[in-house]
């Protein structure tokens, strides 16, 4: 063996011996950094207004899934059409995350009575790195105010207000609110089925 080879062997052995005593740092779950989370948090477009949600439901938009984070007893009394119930305290359960949040097909809209529980849920799942998660602004309180019992007149009333009112009145009728006429349409609402996501095919490795 010449000198160059000996040098190479010794260098490799020293590096190897050093590495043998190091440990690999591990991080269990991938989380997004605080500054990125903050950036997402202050974006206005993480909200959908009740009108927008109503529009989605009426038009039967297949690209949304609604998640009701209130307790089951409230959910059973009243919820939005097609909503799935995942109470806030169960939101981090592995099957809930994998069935409803680990996907990139639907816009996931979270709602509760007000906005705060939905925001907490939004924060938790966003921090875990799940995408396409939104909050219905004002929650079901705003839903009842704006969709089910739309107010007729404000002090300043113009064409846009009127269009909005007409829209809300129409939506209200659709959802069986105050201004609706009674119908027999009492068919039970079925929550959307969880999609069993086909895991993205992994990239295959190869020798080159």
Residue ranges that bind another protein, judged by CB under 8 A: 9, 12-13, 15-17, 19-27, 30, 202-208
Q: Which residue number, 14 or 58, has a Cβ lying nearer to another protein?
A: 14
CB of 158 to another protein, least distance (A): 44
CB of 201 to another protein, least distance (A): 11
Q: Which residue number, 17 or 160, has a Cβ lying nearer to another protein?
A: 17
CB of 8 to another protein, least distance (A): 9
CA distance linking residue 187 with residue 174, whole number of Å = 14
Q: Which residue number, 27 or 185, has a Cβ lying nearer to another protein?
A: 27
Helix (H) or strand (E) holding 113: none
CA distance linking residue 84 with residue 69, whole number of Å = 9
Q: Which residue number, 15 or 92, has a Cβ lying nearer to another protein?
A: 15
Q: Which letter, b or e, does each residue of 43-76 get, where b requires 16 or more Cβ atoms within 10 Å of its Cβ?
A: eeeebbebbebbebbeeeeeebbbbbbbeeeebe
User: Is the separation of the CB atoms in 82 and 192 below 8 Å?
Assistant: yes
């Amino acid at each position: 063996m010449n000198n160059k080879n000996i040098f190479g062997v010794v260098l490799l052995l020293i590096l190897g011996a050093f590495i043998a005593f190091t440990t690999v740092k591990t991080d269990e779950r991938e989380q997004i950094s605080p500054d990125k989370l903050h950036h997402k948090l202050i974006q206005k477009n993480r909200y959908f207004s009740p009108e927008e949600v109503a529009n989605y439901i009426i038009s039967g938009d297949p690209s949304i899934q609604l998640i009701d984070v209130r307790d089951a007893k409230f959910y059973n009394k009243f919820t939005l059409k097609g909503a799935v119930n995942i109470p806030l305290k169960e939101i981090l359960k592995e099957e809930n995350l994998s069935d409803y949040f680990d996907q990139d097909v639907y816009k996931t809209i979270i709602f509760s009575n007000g906005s705060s529980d939905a925001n907490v849920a939004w924060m938790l799942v966003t921090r875990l790195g799940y995408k396409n998660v939104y909050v219905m602004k004002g929650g079901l309180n705003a839903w009842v105010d704006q969709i089910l019992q739309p107010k007729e007149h404000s002090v300043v009333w113009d064409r846009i207000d009127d269009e909005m009112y007409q829209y809300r009145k129409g939506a209200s009728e659709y959802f069986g609110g105050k201004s609706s006429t009674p119908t027999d349409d009492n068919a039970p609402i079925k929550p959307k089925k969880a999609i069993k996501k086909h895991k993205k095919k992994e990239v295959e490795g190869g020798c080159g």
